[in-house]
Structure 1
């Protein structure tokens, strides 16, 4: 009976990891619209996976005390960051002979990973209240988001080749729309 409960808990956590990874997939599709090398795609997925470990871990450790305050703040910050990244991609896609302003390297990669993983902080707060297994949870969240980010970036890369010079504007629109979606769910 205990094995059944454990399997049921793991399945629930896996579904939650997929739900959190959907952000990474869709935002990765948008970011994949700019020209990226496979090495960059690997680093981006790995970074987002690490952030999907750190953010829910921080949320789980903080727990119930701050859950009411940071839940909305995380959504607001994530939405605003995605709006800014999307708007910059759209704006700079119309500039002639300019490389894209938003590049997923350095601070741009950190901001990108942070914007995608902020919702996992709120989920971590909730899971901390219920006493979820911390190590299993954060490893599962990180692994699933990393895989889904890679999938999104590779799909976006295919669309980038298909749409050519308009692909960055399309990717910016995806990020911008996702930012609006986050803000509307507050």
Structure 2
């Protein structure tokens, strides 16, 4: 459930350059919180009307991840090799959009858990905690990668996010 958030965090850490531990922890907290909330939303939707949520979740994920990944890729192409005073990718809106895009699969899991009568609170908290830890670590790993590979790492992160969105879409369309 948390691998997509890990990939996004690595790309984010690489694009920012040298994120602080506090910024990495903030990213982990946002990803973890969103990843905790989305299965709860999915569970509630599953109780009410699961076919409507499952009908569009893959399109939403594809759109969000494609837009964020495409933006990362284009930003990397435009960025010069020289360090900039501007701090790319640090907007809270972009962070939340990325977190939502990577957590829509958790919403779909929440829908299915509604039919299994599982303890959604324990599961959602576990998913959120794992995501928070992995995303914080991903940001810090991206810091190391970004210091050595900079633009290439940011471009790769953008391509991976677009690919992740496409794989979610393809998986749902082929099912």
Normalised TM-score (structure 1): 0.81
The answer for the alignment partner of 2:13 in structure 1 is 32
SS, match of residue 32 in structure 1? helix
CA RMSD of aligned residues (A): 1.9
Q: CA 1:100–1:175 in structure 2 vs 1: closer, same or farther (change >3 Å)? A: farther
Structure 1 segments of 4+ aligned residues over 4 angstroms from their partners: 96-101
The answer for the alignment partner of 1:175 in structure 2 is 161
The answer for the alignment partner of 1:10 in structure 2 is none
Find the partner of 1:87 among 57, 67, 70: 70
Pairs aligned (count)? 166
The answer for the alignment partner of 1:71 in structure 2 is 54
Q: Does 1:118 align with 2:101?
A: no
Q: Does 1:184 align with 2:170?
A: yes
Q: How far off its partner does 1:64 sit?
A: 4.2
Find the partner of 2:29 among 21, 33, 46: 46
Q: Does 1:55 align with 2:38?
A: yes
SS, match of residue 57 in structure 1? helix
Instruction: Note if contact 1:104-1:112 (Cα within 8 Å) is conserved in structure 2.
Output: no
Q: How far off its partner does 1:47 sit?
A: 0.7
Instruction: Note if contact 2:10-2:142 (Cα within 8 Å) is conserved in structure 1.
Output: yes
Q: CA 1:172–1:94 in structure 2 vs 1: closer, same or farther (change >3 Å)? A: same
Which has the higher mean CA deviation after the structures are superposed, 164-173 or 127-136? 164-173
CA distance in 2 between counterparts of 1:144 and 1:95 reads 34
For structure 2, the residue ranges without an aligned partner over 5 or more in a row are none
Instruction: Note if contact 2:110-2:120 (Cα within 8 Å) is conserved in structure 1.
Output: no
Instruction: Note if contact 2:24-2:137 (Cα within 8 Å) is conserved in structure 1.
Output: no
Q: Deviations over 1:33-88 (max 9, x none)?
A: 21222222111110111111111111112224422221241221112111111111
For structure 1, the residue ranges without an aligned partner over 5 or more in a row are 1-19
